[in-house]
Amino acid sequence: MGCLGVHFSLSAAEVDRLREIEEDRERLDYLKESIEEDYFTNHQDDLAESDKAWDAMHRCFEGGRLTWDGGEYPLNHVVLGGEPLYFDDDYIMSLKTPEEVRDVAAALPEITEADMRKRYFAIDPHEYGMDLSDEDFNYTWEYFQGVRSLCLKAAFEGRFVLFTASQ
């Protein structure tokens, strides 16, 4: 199943290693074989899965669209905004610096369920590719809670956040 999103709270050393890898395929292999394996096994408190809810989540903070550079900072950095680390079309890797994570974390407590609901139901369903529904909103809101918690924790610890999704 594709398009499954995960946010990872990474150390500076892990980010340095990701950045020093020059080839996309090697970077993806490192993500899958080192980061994912280690975090899913040993550091689950430093990751937040967003399943396919990341798409609607990003649209909520980007004015309804799914683009890399739209929306207003810092909320546009919750999912896709940040430094792209992968450029093939089969995977997404978007890195947020500790400074960006702090900015995102400062903005996230202001997002209430009512605010998120308003943002969600403003998405163009044609562009989204599916009908908007209470069920999909609740799914998105539930996964958003984990992403918010991770960002708050990462900001407190001064860590990077890497968003990834398989395509």
> With the C-alpha atoms ordered 75, 58, 80, 101, is the resulting torsion angle positive or negative?
positive
Q: What is the pLDDT tens value at each position of the chain, 167 positions in all?
A: 358 999 999 999 999 999 999 999 999 999 999 999 999 999 999 999 999 999 999 999 998 989 888 889 999 999 999 999 999 999 999 999 999 999 999 999 999 999 999 999 999 999 999 999 999 999 999 999 999 999 999 999 999 999 999 98
Query: Other CB atoms closer than 10 Å to residue 106's CB: what's the count?
Result: 13
Residue 48: its H or E element: strand 47-51
Residue 147, both tokens: 């992403």
Strand segments, DSSP code E, in the chain are 5-10, 47-51, 83-84, 91-96, 160-166
Compute the 3-state secondary structure of the chain and give helix, strand, coil in percent, each to the nearest 5.
55, 15, 30
CA separation for the pair 109, 145 (Å, rounded): 10
pTM to 2 decimal places: 0.95
**Predicted local distance difference test score (pLDDT) of residue 1:** 38
